[in-house]
Amino acid sequence: NAGVTQTPKFRVLKTGQSMTLLCAQDMNHEYMYWYRQDPGMGLRLIHYSVGEGTTAKGEVPDGYNVSRLKKQNFLLGLESAAPSQTSVYFCASSTWGSGATDTQYFGPGTRLTVL
């Protein structure tokens, strides 16, 4: 039981390049989330999903797209990376229903640098 996994762990991009971050969970959770964490800012929600085939915008969605084609996977895409997207990205999942009131389980994070 791996919990929540993320790939890659590290990545360096040049401005304008694109990439996809993959999150996978093996806990059969309905809800999945993508956050970014910047110094002094706390975690901020980018996008989330309440089930397979659904996605919704969070607090800071601009510049990102997501897809949830399978229940266990949640992909975060950057179409044209900008230096402002340099951050640590965390994926999380939670069980069901109310989402905001459930315990969230986090992946180990992806450290992205955009030059």
Partner 1 sequence: RKEVEQDPGPFNVPEGATVAFNCTYSNSASQSFFWYRQDCRKEPKLLMSVYSSGNEDGRFTAQLNRASQYISLLIRDSKLSDSATYLCVVGRNTGGFKTIFGAGTRLFVKA
- Using CB under 8 A, list all residues that contact partner 1: 33, 35, 40-45, 48, 56, 59, 90, 98-101, 103-109
Closest to partner 1 by CB, 17 vs 73, is 73
Cα 45 from chain centroid? Answer: 8
| Amino acid in the structure at residue 64 | Y
Nearest CB to partner 1, comparing residues 12 and 56: 56
Structure tokens at 37: 């964490």
Nearest-approach distance from CB 80 to partner 1, in angstroms: 27
DSSP 8-state code for residue 80: S
Which residue's CB is nearer to partner 1, number 16 or number 100?
100
Residue type, 101: T
Min separation Cβ 16 and partner 1, Å: 28
Give the separation between CA 1 and CA 24, rounded to whole angstroms.
12
Closer residue to partner 1 in complex, CB, 17/44: 44
Q: What is the closest distance, in whole angstroms, from the C-beta atom of residue 71 to partner 1 in the complex? A: 18
Q: In angstroms, rounded to a whole number, what is the distance separating the alpha carbons of residues 61 and 64? A: 6
CB of 112 to partner 1, least distance (A): 14
Residues across the chain: 115
